[in-house]
């Protein structure tokens, strides 16, 4: 929404995270997701969910695709079906290949109390992520962005995953193409405003 200049209201909602951190450390969650009104919108009780003038949608990458098609097809995929398909492919890949490992990393490094963390689980998650980030690094040796020569919707979820990868206090091999692309993503005004702050990713 920030990339395409849409006005929006942002409501913090979660069953597991709150102002004082993860519920495993005794904090209270932001809530909202367990209320009857929210469950009517999203029966899963998860975030995110959007209400675009009465059109309700959940699942983050579906939301990105919808916003791109509805509000900014030229900006976010050049109004070209093949660019849309290529960007969409990387969004599906992000969900399948990066989400699980990164969730484990954030739990083991940040959210769980220290006495509940397992170094073996942490290392397995780090190892799990090396291959897909290597694949992304190789792909970015062929084009400036994931779907070609221009920024698209496909760079949005991957940019968040790369940001966390570089914020985590873990060992990482050099990946020059990934690093070059990540540097470009970090310069985008929407990224600076909504994503860059480490507290959004490392608050426990």
Our measurement of the distance from residue 28's CA atom to the centroid of its chain's CA atoms, rounded to an integer in Å, reads 23
3-state secondary structure at position 39: helix
**CATH number for the domain that contains residue 93:** 1.20.1050.10
User: What domain range includes position 184?
Assistant: 77-197
Q: Is pLDDT at 25 greater than 90 in this prediction? A: no
Mean pLDDT of 61-73: 98
Residues 163-202 pLDDT 10s: 999 999 999 999 999 999 999 999 999 999 999 999 888 8
Mean pLDDT of 49-63: 97
Nearest CA among 46, 172, 194, 174 for reference residue 101? 172
- Cβ-proximal residues to 165 (8 Å cutoff; 6+ apart), any chain: 102, 129, 133, 172
pLDDT at residue 50, rounded to an integer: 97
The overall average pLDDT reported for the chain is 95
Final residue before a domain boundary, out of 71, 86, 103: 71
Mean pLDDT of 138-154: 98
Angle of CA points 143, 98, 133, to nearest 5° = 40
| Band (135; pLDDT cuts 50, 70, 90) | very high
| Band (204; pLDDT cuts 50, 70, 90) | low
Mean pLDDT of 78-104: 97
Query: What's the maximum distance between 2 C-alpha atoms anywhere in the chain?
Result: 51
CA distances (Å), origin 32, targets 19, 35, 59, 113, 193: 14, 5, 17, 24, 24
Q: Is the peptide bond before 149 cis (omega within 30 degrees of 0)?
A: no
Q: What is the DSSP letter of 90?
A: H
- Let me know whether 95 and 179 are in one domain: yes
- Let me know whether 103 and 172 are in one domain: yes
- Let me know whether 116 and 172 are in one domain: yes
Q: What is the pTM of this model?
A: 0.93
């Amino acid at each position: 929404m920030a990339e395409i200049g849409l006005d929006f209201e942002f409501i913090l909602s979660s069953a597991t995270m709150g102002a004082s951190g993860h519920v495993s450390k005794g904090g209270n969650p932001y809530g909202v997701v367990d209320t009857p009104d929210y469950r009517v919108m999203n029966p899963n009780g998860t975030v995110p969910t959007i209400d675009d003038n009465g059109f309700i949608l959940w699942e983050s990458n579906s939301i990105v695709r919808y916003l791109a098609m509805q509000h900014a097809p030229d900006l976010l995929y050049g109004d070209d079906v093949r660019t849309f398909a290529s960007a969409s492919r990387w969004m599906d890949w992000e969900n399948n290949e990066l989400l699980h490992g990164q969730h484990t990393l954030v739990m083991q490094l940040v959210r769980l109390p220290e006495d509940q963390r397992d170094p073996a689980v942490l290392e397995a998650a780090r190892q799990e992520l090396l291959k897909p980030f290597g694949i992304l690094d190789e792909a970015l040796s062929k084009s400036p962005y994931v779907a070609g020569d221009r920024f698209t919707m496909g760079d949005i979820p991957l940019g968040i995953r790369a940001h966390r990868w570089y914020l985590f206090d873990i060992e990482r091999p050099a990946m020059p193409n990934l690093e070059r692309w990540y540097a470009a993503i970090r310069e985008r005004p929407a990224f600076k405003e909504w994503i860059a702050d480490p507290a959004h990713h490392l608050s426990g």
